[in-house]
Structure 1
Amino acid sequence: MSTSKGLFVSLFSKTKKNAGWMAIGFHADGIYAAHLKRLPARNPSIEFLSFYPSEKSALPATLRKLALELNVNRYQCSHLLDIGEYQLLSIDPLNVPPDELKKAVRWRLKEMLDYHVDDATIDVLAIPIDKNGPLHSNALLAVVVPNQLIEQRQALFEEAKVAVRVIDIPEMAQRNIAALLEPEGHAVALLSFTTEGGLITITFAGELYLSRRMDTTVTQLQEADAAHITVIHERITLDLQRSLDHFDRQYHALSLKKLILAPMGAEGAALQAYLSDNLYIPIETLNLETILDFSKVPELAEIAQQQRFFITLGAALRVDEKTL
């Protein structure tokens, strides 16, 4: 079982590389890739960003091109799943010995999945309600991916000669960014939007405590006229209020300091203003340049580019962690 630091370690390849992590994500418009370097007493440096436009049918050829041009064999590669390719399910604490926990989770999931649990690959994330308490006192998050998808991706990457070591999900990628934003001793909420939808996460001490999906997309925020934008803002506010209330009930001992909006343009400024008027916590908007070194990728000074690469950059920020 993993901690909340990484998922599905060594599913595809156990070969370690020395150049650091490269994150590779498939999205509707193509393949995104990023590599960052963590440096002592400095902001993580973005070494490169790449985007390869591709339709789904052309993914194999596009991935081969990426592998050749980016010399992927130098890196430990992670693959970032997209929305709809996995499930993230909350499970109450299970009073079982650590070596039986994963089996118990699989048994619990039998009634939560719409397909047979034996057809799923499962990883378990512990939410440390009490870091000094026994493992079974922790709430759990189960990441569930159909075996068929795992096998398809494995074949795709093997054909392109890309040795993927880790499969990650957007919730964990966003957690990586939030960990750079947390005020010491306080939790922080982070809200992002993509063309697939919105994602709210709440983290504390580098751990993911809550994540919720929203149906609202960045495209809807960008294209809504004056008659509809207030309705969208109201829906986002309601979703946020429910998430914040749930966090307060479940983790009342943790202090939530602020809500941070991931990089967006004018639509982000309008949303920040609305949320500031309707929520009880401070609202800020993130510019990634405050936490990452852009010197090798000056194009990221454009907020639109920060929005596009936000989740991929988060995935590239992962670090090696021990598993339980």
Structure 2
Amino acid sequence: MFSLREKSGNNTSAGITVSTDGIALALVEHKAQPPTLKSAKFYSCSESERPSLLAQLVKQYRLDNIPCNLVLGSEEYQMLQVEAPDVPKQELSAALRWHVKDLIDFHIDDAVIEHFALQAENASGKQPIHVIASRKSVIQNYVDLMHTTNCNLTTIDIAAMAVRNIIVNSDYANTHTSIGIINILDGITRIIVLLNKEIYIVRTSNIGLQSLASMSDDVDSQSALDSLALELQRTFDYYESYSRQTPIERLFILNGQDVANLDSMLQQRLGVDCHTMELQSFLTSEEGEFTDILTADCLLAIGGALRAKH
């Protein structure tokens, strides 16, 4: 996404996420397939404590010598899909900036814009483009933090791409064209569709873990699940008609461990093979069991660390 330095040949890379509660750091070694997760941990701190904590982590894990990918939280950027404008390649960035100026919720002069094109054409025969917009202040604050602590920041990435980086390490992704993913957060769920290992659709549902975790067996309390299943079905139907690709046959569920039988309940409603994501299916670990690292913050940091391979 937002590249800052040339990629290095280091076999180990780091993923970092920063939230109001602290910093998550993951280290991944890329020598073998699947990659090896060397470490993943969330460190609690206040905003004022961030510089000193990160400086400690830089020294402890030699983050000044390995490529570090910072992952923006979902609330720190906007992602839009538009059709490629009919302009020369050298004018594309300016044209996209003009195109999205009224679609983002802050002034275009305050925006940092990046984009990437999808390889497939849509139903109208045009090439879709994803445009990512973030506030300049957000990006600059992170750049300053990394520079102050001597962290070797190479890329600033987005949450959706970090999720994608995890899934594409699966054997399933190597043999299937169309894959669905949901990343369940406290108040929302991110719905992602991959086409040929690349992000094709990103949508947001207002149904999150708080709604789903309170479900019981009575009909009324399962309305949240029914609504989420309906949003998923609409997304999948749109994908099939818009992309002219094969139907989605598998849905990976991230952060759904606190909802009992979520995979089977969604599978019953969608008729799609639903799997709660288990990191051991995608990575090996130097630390043994994948137990305490399965939080939203650590997952995104792991996805950030996996970016160097792709």
Structure 1 match to 2:131: 142
Partner residue of 1:23 out of 5, 8, 15: 15
Rounded Cα–Cα distance in structure 2 between residues aligned with 1:196 and 1:57: 26
Structure 2 match to 1:204: 195
Structure 1's unaligned 5+ residue stretches are 1-6
Deviations along 1:184-217, one digit per CA (max 9) or x if unpaired, are 1421111121335322211122211111122233
Q: Does 1:274 align with 2:265?
A: yes
User: 2:254–2:276: 8 Å Cα contact kept in structure 1?
Assistant: yes
Query: Secondary structure of 2:10's match?
Result: coil
Deviations along 1:270-310, one digit per CA (max 9) or x if unpaired, are 2212212211322222211122102x12241x2x6324422
Rounded Cα–Cα distance in structure 2 between residues aligned with 1:118 and 1:129: 31
Q: Does 1:312 align with 2:301?
A: yes
> What displacement does 1:256 show?
2.0
Q: Does 1:254 align with 2:246?
A: yes
Deviations along 1:109-158, one digit per CA (max 9) or x if unpaired, are 12213333122111001112249xxxx94201111011111121122222
User: 1:95–1:137: 8 Å Cα contact kept in structure 2?
Assistant: no
Structure 2 match to 1:93: 84
CA shift in 2, pair 1:218/1:61, >3 Å:
farther
User: 1:52–1:66: 8 Å Cα contact kept in structure 2?
Assistant: no
User: 2:177–2:197: 8 Å Cα contact kept in structure 1?
Assistant: no
Q: Does 1:119 align with 2:110?
A: yes
User: 1:262–1:285: 8 Å Cα contact kept in structure 2?
Assistant: yes
Structure 2's unaligned 5+ residue stretches are none
User: 1:186–1:257: 8 Å Cα contact kept in structure 2?
Assistant: no
> What displacement does 1:223 show?
4.5
Structure 1 match to 2:95: 104
Kindly provide the amino acid, as one letter, of the partner of residue 90 in structure 2.
Answer: D
Structure 2 match to 1:164: 153
Rounded Cα–Cα distance in structure 2 between residues aligned with 1:51 and 1:299: 16
> What displacement does 1:240 show?
0.9
User: 2:178–2:245: 8 Å Cα contact kept in structure 1?
Assistant: no
Q: Structure 1 stretches (4+) deviating beyond 3 angstroms?
A: 13-17, 219-229
Structure 2 match to 1:3: none
Structure 2 match to 1:8: 2
Provide the alpha-carbon RMSD of the alignment. 2.4
Rounded Cα–Cα distance in structure 2 between residues aligned with 1:119 and 1:202: 29
Rounded Cα–Cα distance in structure 2 between residues aligned with 1:313 and 1:213: 22
Query: Secondary structure of 2:59's match?
Result: helix
> What displacement does 1:170 show?
0.9
User: 1:24–1:312: 8 Å Cα contact kept in structure 2?
Assistant: yes
Query: Secondary structure of 1:180's match?
Result: coil
CA shift in 2, pair 1:56/1:174, >3 Å:
same
Rounded Cα–Cα distance in structure 1 between residues aligned with 2:229 and 2:176: 26
User: 1:9–1:167: 8 Å Cα contact kept in structure 2?
Assistant: yes
Rounded Cα–Cα distance in structure 1 between residues aligned with 2:21 and 2:289: 19
Kindly provide the amino acid, as one letter, of the partner of residue 260 in structure 1.
Answer: F
Pairs within 5 Å for 1:197-236: 197-224=188-215, 229-236=221-228
> What displacement does 1:17 show?
6.4
Structure 2 match to 1:264: 256
Rounded Cα–Cα distance in structure 2 between residues aligned with 1:314 and 1:15: 17
Query: Secondary structure of 1:74's match?
Result: coil
User: 1:183–1:257: 8 Å Cα contact kept in structure 2?
Assistant: no
Query: Secondary structure of 1:128's match?
Result: coil
Deviations along 1:72-100, one digit per CA (max 9) or x if unpaired, are 11211111111211111111221112111
User: 2:249–2:272: 8 Å Cα contact kept in structure 1?
Assistant: yes
Query: Secondary structure of 2:102's match?
Result: coil
CA shift in 2, pair 1:278/1:223, >3 Å:
closer
